[in-house]
Amino acid sequence: MRVIIAGGGEFGARLAEQLTGENEVIIIEKDEGRAEYLGEKLSSIVLFGDATEKQVLKHANAEKCDALLAATGDDKANSAICELAKSFGIKRLASRLNDPGKADLFSGSGAAAINVMDSAVKEFRKAISEKKAPKN
């Protein structure tokens, strides 16, 4: 599968590490220094640019992608990225949701808005409520 990850911060980089290998991963990062660092560190394709700009997604060949994951720390930017990705025909859209009060921003794009903090809290609660001791 061909996947674009918009946002190459710690979260986006971790996503790329997990998805690379079985997928062709393209990271779009708007901080030039960070993009350069990721290009050296990861085996993914890394593009310097702002994923809220149509030309940048076009340069990433978005029309040939199967999925886009908006992983920035800005819900408005993530929403705009998902809307733009939809215009390229990308069917699988998911976004990091930083503020649960902004979930409605994603209703128009059909993107799955995932609250990473809530997901982590659920996993921690699950870990301490299990009856058997965790494996190390």
Q: Is residue 136 part of a domain?
A: no
pTM of the model: 0.89
pLDDT for 135 beyond 70: no
Q: Look at strands 2-6 and 112-115 and give their pairing.
A: unpaired
Q: For residue range 33-54, what is the model confidence (pLDDT) as tens digits?
A: 999 999 999 999 999 999 999 9
Higher pLDDT, 103 or 27: 27
Is 135 part of any domain? no
**How many domains in the chain?**
1
What pLDDT is stored for residue 131 in this prediction? 62
Kindly state whether residue 80 falls inside one of the protein's structural domains: yes
pLDDT of residue 116: 86
The enclosing domain of 108 has a CATH number of 3.40.50.720
Domain that holds residue 64: 2-129
Tokens (6 digits) for 83: 């809307």
Whether 104 is covered by a domain: the verdict is yes
Report if residue 122 sits inside a domain: yes
- Is 134 among the domain residues? no
